[in-house]
Chains A and B, each alone.
Chain A
């Protein structure tokens, strides 16, 4: 035998160790290299390309076992090109280019509040000294003038696990940087004022009222509510006046700017814009960059 023939004493034990490990590693390296060529499986070259485009963290965030599994699923059409939550839109774009499909990022939904009546606009029937929870206060008919509007007691803030809500002027403000769109606040609101809407842009126009009372009644209890006049619906078919309340069809909705005219017609100013930092005064959104500053100071002087 070859190994027996070599005089063992001639080489030190360290030398033998190195030699044996080197030969073993070499044998496996050669074996694997040959095997990888001989046993090559012809597969769709796009699978490799997609895998290259992925972050390669193998985190499993997509629900697959790893990036390779996800790449395969994408090529087989079993997973969407935008399925990688880590890579985000840029990664989705690259994969879409490889797959030759049009890139359409899944639109994020975010919560908005269908009420703009801050504590100044809200008219009370009588002073309220009851429970400080919305769910309990909502059981009392006369807790405030408007039977539809925000109570401002913050059940939604309490239920948010991510600290994305804060109370300002009697209304919750959403911090979309922290929001995960879990929908906890939507179910927490006893009056159903919070809704998850598709944020097609960073700024979205929202109807800031939920009152289905006739305009006259709304006027009596609130300074900011929608009167259901239908002026907006006459200007743009994105709007519909539905039982004394305007509503926006987000299927048809494109962007804030295209609805400028309809907004200008709104007598109650119940339309509001929600943006990255929560509710934005609509004046700021539509104002030309030059006179934004002036509008801001005006806004500050007369709280909405």
Chain B
């Protein structure tokens, strides 16, 4: 078996194993209701983290507007579900359609923003993606859609007045947001997550993915061997946006009230933290980091107000410990010192001594 394939299978196994074990634990009631409630958001955040890892880790471009694509997916998917709530009846079919439509809408936004913006690089690209996220949030905050017997009413930046009050259903009401049907369940999240994970693994392993990594490692060298830099950057950007859109659809169907305020730049940064701490370009790292970092503040809930303080300190210490050259040297020195080597030799037997001639 190829090493990469084996690696990917392990990642899939870890992800699936986590959800199966904790799903069973939550069904049997061993896990408290508070922790059980975390499983769906964790799944959604893993999808977001692995999709952002495509932009940041594989393509090597910093994006601070990932929440914007999630917002597009959440709103488009949610609006679709509310409008078709009575016409498309098996809810699973409606949800699948919503996922497809939300993902496509986010992909279109990714393409629209990607064509002009991918001329930029580095920090300039980062700030434009941040701006994009804020724009999407502000627009979502000002959209009013409602339904009555005459059809749909649409309004921007002002609430709807010319509507038949008796048959009125609000679809989305500006800052008050929307209430999409609760169609997301854990099994759906896990299925979508596994599909996204496998799709991303295949993408990274493909010719396109390798081209993206070549661009990341050396832009000019990639150009000079004939890689169409703009095309591959755009493909990766759009795929990443589409998957974030799908996560957004799952999100909007999993909470009772969706407001656009949620999709601010803090959310984008939170996802970025998952990706960077998990390791750039490593899908398995993103999965594990998301599970740990998302659950951590919830587990320490009894610490109350101190938990976010501890989270911040842990974050800083982890970054310094993992990246500072002096700490890396220190770790190597400890690893090479005599007592540690002795302990290691107890656990890891050297091959030539294990099958020795004696």
Q: Do A and B come from one complex?
A: no
